[in-house]
Amino acid sequence: MPAVELTDLTKRYGDFAANDEVSFSVEQGEIFGYLGPNGAGKTTTIRMLLGLIKPTSGTATVLGADIRDRKALTETKSKIGYLPDSLGFDEHLTGNEVLDYFARMRSDERRDELLELFHPPLEKPVGTYSAGNRRMLGIVQAFMHDPEFVIMDEPTSGLDPLKQDRLHVFIQQECDAGKTIFLSSHTLSEVQRVCDRVGIIREGELVALEDIESLLKRSGKEVWVHLKDSVDETRFVTDEMIDVEIVNNAVHFTYTGETQPLLEHLVQFEIEDANIGNPQLDTIFKHYYRSDSSGETFPKDVSEETDPDERSEDIS
């Protein structure tokens, strides 16, 4: 049984579909990356999986519990960890008091272990914390009850590079131990580094669902070419070249055809330097988020609108 399975999951705010018949599954022991900018529908999906808002139609199961069955989902939440993007801790409480609060609702058998890796200033009020210290406190509360499934929304936000590396290693170790991680992020290099598969959501619709390696291969080659003379665009650019950028004698593009025809085309020009490689996720991601004719790139972030079914984002 998949750890998570979405079936035509839909959430509408009036005429706008924040999630539009989204379907995919996350296997047990997998690190799944969920990509999209603000307003694409990531947070809406997460809130429905946690039972914080009700779907308009469709459904999903989390560790076997149907999200429409409030009692079943409540019983399952003891096996779920959640690191939200915005950490709503009571700023008057100390870090220790925050962890004590969550320990009373669940448990904290891994608390000391996690505090050796991520060490926020526990004796200070949360209101005095930096963004990085808040994030470390959030990581500890998300994992200290040893959950089977963890949702992490922008997990490295505010962390310095060393702590980001520490978290990435920790996530991979948790996956090796059988945990399932659902990681929502804007940081594409992070997803490329730690995730097994990725789903890309655009304006509420799932537009890509593949393992990282296949997605990179399917998306062509990223090419940089520096010519001796100025670029004759009408002669140089072919139908297989997309996202072409020309600056003086330099050309950068993604090539969607086979490599051999590309090489045969390039030898017709006087080339001083060239590089052909696999595209990074950043490049692939841009293909799904080109501006429309009005110049509008991203949809309105309706996930923050008030819904009559929405309850307070209580990560318990």
Note the pLDDT tens digit of each residue in 114-166.
999 999 999 999 999 999 999 999 999 999 999 999 999 989 989 999 999 99
137 is a domain residue: yes
Domain endpoint, select from 182, 198, 215: 215
* 239 in the same domain as 101: no
Q: Using CA atoms, how far apart are residues 110 and 114, in angstroms rounded to an integer?
A: 6
107 is a domain residue: yes
* 106 in the same domain as 202: yes
* 227 in the same domain as 177: no
Q: What local confidence, expressed as pLDDT, does residue 192 receive? A: 82
Q: What local confidence, expressed as pLDDT, does residue 162 receive? A: 92
| Positions in the chain short of pLDDT 70 | 287-316
* Predicted structure pTM score: 0.77
DSSP of the chain:
--SEEEEEEEEEETTEEEEEEEEEEE-TT-EEEEE--TTSSHHHHHHHHTTSS--SEEEEEETTEETT-HHHHHHHGGGEEEE-SS----TTSBHHHHHHHHHHHS--TTHHHHHHHS---TTSBGGG--HHHHHHHHHHHHHTT--SEEEEESTTTT--HHHHHHHHHHHHHHHHTT-EEEEEES-HHHHHHH-SEEEEEETTEEEEEEEHHHHHHHT-EEEEEEESS---HHHH--TTEEEEEEETTEEEEEE-S-HHHHHHHHTTS-EEEEEEEPPPHHHHHHHT----TTS--S---GGGS--TT-------
* 226 in the same domain as 164: no
Q: What local confidence, expressed as pLDDT, does residue 59 receive? A: 96
239 is a domain residue: yes
* 224 in the same domain as 147: no
Q: What local confidence, expressed as pLDDT, does residue 293 receive? A: 37
Domain of residue 267 covers 220-278
* 242 in the same domain as 121: no
Q: What local confidence, expressed as pLDDT, does residue 290 receive? A: 59
Q: What local confidence, expressed as pLDDT, does residue 107 receive? A: 93
292 is a domain residue: no
* 262 in the same domain as 199: no
Q: What local confidence, expressed as pLDDT, does residue 299 receive? A: 34
